């Protein structure tokens, strides 16, 4: 039989824990999630904004065969570029973007929108340029928004020559580079992209990524009106592009993340990082955070999807990092882990993350960067988007389990003692009376 005070004890423990969790930055939407979190064995976390500060700045660059080595060199680097290339670079940064400058929640003027786009606009501002006038002079004809599946964004605007248009493309460096057949040399002249030059660009991409920088590539192409008419409304025209360059964007780790990851490991919880970044960038960040350890494996989303379920199960014990992931990869990850009887906590901030958040045993959405759809699908909202808050929720979940265990220990001890005392005293009593009356037993 269930001890009569157990439902009340569980409810009180959960209510107390959720109140304390709110002070630690966890808004619990589903009461049962607090208890479930206490038994979590795997935490699958995003990188940007959860492990990192989500404060991105352009610190490196390789544009038109010229290298920028630090952010302090940005203005002098830009001034060394040919005038036509300066104009082209400003256009592709300003036009092919949805970010803008305005007041934030605290009333401070800052760039608002995708943090990667904000970093690029910040770079243009450091170079002394005004993105607003460029946008005002170039009204888009077509826009293909950035998506987590394609990892690119494309905008088509009228070019200076009558009847011609310019395609501006940006996104994941290796994807953009695969779409390029030409490049701009240091004089701003268009050259054929041979294998030697392609390997040189890949070397810079790898160098930036190994320094824990997010790599973003920029490219363009001029087309005429007939080619524009042939463009698909759903698929961006990413073929025969001209490579402009690649920038390295820095997003530092949050303070205390490494210690929080170590706390998870000591508690027997495995932390896996799932990100849309380049695999070298993902490895470098995971290594700095203490997630990628000796013997751990890192794979890309396409590699993961290409595996059979059996191969995925064989890889899972060593899998610690997934790069270039899509929302579907998160769902598959949750399914495979649950098939191994793991209790999975999953983080997500986008609308596309909602199915994975619903599927996970505990879904964490982001209170600052998360969409309303993701918040509705989640069990707990991280008010500060910080990984350390997940560790705090793990502690409170285990505290609830400990409280219920202590109550059961107390209740069962008292009940068994009362039953034995009543039975033995009734057997050995001369008049068959129990040492405890009915009222005393109920009390």
- Compute the C-alpha angle 409/412/413, nearest 5°: 80
- Number of other CB atoms surrounding residue 435 within 10 Å: 13
> Could you say which DSSP state residue 100 is in?
E
SS3 state at 379: coil
- Compute the C-alpha angle 372/373/374, nearest 5°: 90
Q: Which two tokens stand for residue 442?
A: 């109920």
β-partners of residue 48 are none
Question: Which residue bears the tokens 């560790």?
Answer: 391
Q: Which residues, at least 6 apart from 140, have a Cβ–Cβ distance to it below 8 Å?
A: 95, 155, 156, 157
Q: Which residues, at least 6 apart from 53, have a Cβ–Cβ distance to it below 8 Å?
A: 251, 252, 253, 254
Alpha-helix runs per DSSP H in 251-317: 257-266, 279-289, 301-306, 309-315
Question: Which residue bears the tokens 């991409």?
Answer: 205
- Ramachandran angles phi, psi of 366, nearest 5°: -95, 125
**Which residue out of 24, 46, 240, 379 is catalytically annotated?**
46
Among 160, 217, 213, which Cα is nearest to 183's? 217
Say whether 46 is catalytic. yes
Q: Which two tokens stand for residue 124?
A: 């243009």
Q: Which two tokens stand for residue 264?
A: 């998870």
Q: Which helix (H) or strand (E) holds 150?
A: none
> Could you say which DSSP state residue 86 is in?
H
**Residue 422, CA distances (Å) to 51, 174, 304, 432, 439 in order:** 59, 77, 63, 10, 13
Contact 331, 363 (CB under 8 A): no
CA 66, CA 79: separation in Å to the nearest integer? Answer: 12
Question: What are the residue numbers of the active site?
Answer: 46
């Amino acid at each position: 039989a269930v001890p009569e005070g157990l439902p009340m004890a569980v409810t009180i423990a959960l209510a107390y824990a959720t109140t304390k969790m709110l002070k630690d930055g966890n808004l619990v939407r589903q009461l049962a999630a607090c208890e479930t979190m206490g038994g979590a064995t795997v935490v699958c976390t995003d990188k940007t904004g959860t492990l990192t500060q989500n404060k991105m700045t352009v610190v490196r660059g390789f544009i038109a065969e010229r290298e920028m080595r630090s952010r302090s060199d940005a203005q002098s680097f830009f001034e060394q570029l040919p005038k036509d290339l300066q104009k082209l670079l400003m256009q592709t940064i300003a036009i092919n973007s949805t970010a803008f400058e305005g007041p934030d929640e605290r009333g401070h003027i800052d760039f608002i929108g995708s943090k990667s786009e904000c970093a690029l606009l910040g770079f243009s501002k450091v170079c002394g340029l005004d993105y607003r006038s460029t946008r005002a002079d170039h009204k888009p004809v077509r826009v293909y928004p950035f998506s987590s599946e394609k990892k690119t964004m494309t905008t088509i605007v009228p070019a200076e020559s009558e009847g011609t248009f310019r395609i501006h493309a940006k996104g994941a460096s290796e994807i953009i580079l695969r779409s390029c057949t030409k490049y701009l040399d240091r004089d701003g002249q268009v050259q054929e992209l041979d294998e030697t030059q392609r390997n040189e660009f890949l070397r810079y991409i790898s160098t930036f990524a190994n320094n824990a920088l997010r790599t973003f590539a920029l490219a363009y192409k001029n087309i005429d009106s007939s080619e524009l008419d042939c463009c698909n409304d759903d698929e961006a025209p990413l073929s025969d592009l001209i490579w402009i360059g690649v920038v390295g964007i820095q997003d530092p780790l949050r303070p205390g993340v490494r210690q929080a990851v170590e706390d998870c490991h000591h508690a027997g919880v495995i932390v896996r990082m799932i990100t849309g970044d380049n695999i070298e960038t993902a490895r470098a960040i995971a290594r700095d955070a203490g997630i990628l350890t000796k013997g751990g494996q890192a794979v890309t989303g396409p590699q993961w999807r290409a595996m059979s379920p059996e191969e995925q199960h064989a890889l899972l014990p060593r899998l610690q990092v997934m790069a270039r992931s899509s929302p579907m990869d998160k769902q598959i990850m949750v399914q495979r882990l649950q098939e191994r009887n793991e209790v999975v906590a999953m983080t997500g901030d986008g609308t596309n993350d909602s199915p994975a958040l619903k599927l996970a045993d505990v879904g964490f959405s982001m209170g600052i960067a998360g969409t309303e759809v993701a918040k509705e699908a989640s069990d707990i909202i991280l008010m500060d988007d910080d990984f350390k808050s997940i560790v705090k929720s793990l502690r409170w979940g285990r505290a609830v389990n400990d409280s219920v265990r202590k109550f059961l220990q107390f209740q069962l001890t008292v009940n068994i003692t009362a039953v034995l005392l009543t039975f033995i005293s009734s057997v050995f009593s001369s008049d068959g009376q129990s040492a405890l009356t009915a009222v005393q037993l109920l009390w």
